[in-house]
Amino acid sequence: METTELLKKVRKIEIKTRGLTNHIFAGEYHSAFKGRGMTFSEVREYQYGDDIRNIDWNVTARFNSPFVKVFEEERELTVMLLIDVSGSRFFGSTHQLKMGLMTEIGAVLSFSAIQNNDKIGVIFFSDKIEKFMPPKKGKRHILRIIRELIEFKPTSDKTNISEALRFLTNGIKKRSTAFILSDFIDFKETNSTQPNYLEAMRIASNKHDIVAIRVFDRREAELPAVGLLKVKDAESGVDKWIDTDSNSVRDGYAKWWNQATLSVNEIFSKCRVDSVSIGTDEDYVQPLVKLFKRR
């Protein structure tokens, strides 16, 4: 992509997502993802109703009058974006590709993070770690993230979510809030509905606050009746002809999709992971706001 064209795209996404962050997401994000720790702030004289467990006995003895420790919430977070850059992100049958939707959501979360004075980093993954951007603050860092979201080219088209989760668990020492942006199509084998990443997600969620944002296209959920259709697996490159006029073919595919979706949601539930599913034909604003309010 030429530099001028890239800068125009970055600017367009910045204007849109920064505006949404300023007017819609700022308060919701702050409430949903505020810091979990408590840090010592100061001491003050004891007041009726104060918890006696907070009395600072050293200061109390020095001044011969009761003083209590005052704590404040530790607001600063480390936020990580885990971005699925496998081949399936190029699918989209309506308004945009899954990649475009993930780019905008990633930008919104990035601007929300820096407005809350949080550090933000990114892990781009396929079936391996493609790129790691360590957590930092600042607008320049956010614009670099957006550029990478737009133009990053992975070396593999395959998916391994477990690899990304293991990297998060082992590589990010401080507890973080980690958003996984993916279609979560990563199953044990072809036609299986059992995801590959249960154990890795369980371990990661014990250390970090994981939030799953599942991006999908409605044509992945149901096949249109358009006769013989040649389809290509974006990750394996395998071509296949299917008869979409066949009720049994369409019903079988719909059954697989529904069961696969149920299995993915069960993993989120088992691992205590907050999640939201957003279609490429949807406005992502309301689903994200609802996600934030649920927390």
Q: What is the mean pLDDT of each run of 10 residues along the chain (295 residues)?
A: 70 78 71 61 83 89 89 73 90 77 92 87 97 93 92 93 97 92 88 88 96 90 71 66 75 86 95 94 88 83
Per-residue confidence (pLDDT) for residue 230, from 0 to 100? 66
Report the CATH architecture of 3-31+76-294: 3-Layer(aba) Sandwich (3.40)
Per-residue confidence (pLDDT) for residue 28, from 0 to 100? 76
Which DSSP string do the residues of the chain spell out, in sequence order? --HHHHHHHHHHHHHHHHHHIIIIIHHHHHHHS----EEEEEEEE--TT--GGGB-HHHHHHHTS-EEEEEEE----EEEEEEE-SGGGG--SSSS-HHHHHHHHHHHHHHHHHHTT-EEEEEEESSSEEEEEEEE-SHHHHHHHHHHHHH---S-----HHHHHHHHHHH--S--EEEEEE----BSSTT--SBS-HHHHHHHHHHSEEEEEEEE-HHHHS----SEEEEE-TTT--EEEEETT-HHHHHHHHHHHHHHHHHHHHHHHHTT-EEEEEETTS-SHHHHHHHHHH-
Per-residue confidence (pLDDT) for residue 34, from 0 to 100? 61
Per-residue confidence (pLDDT) for residue 57, from 0 to 100? 93
Task: Say if strands 38-45 and 177-182 run parallel, antiparallel, or are unpaired.
Answer: unpaired
pTM of the predicted protein model:
0.79
Task: Enumerate the domain spans of the chain.
Answer: 3-31+76-294, 38-73
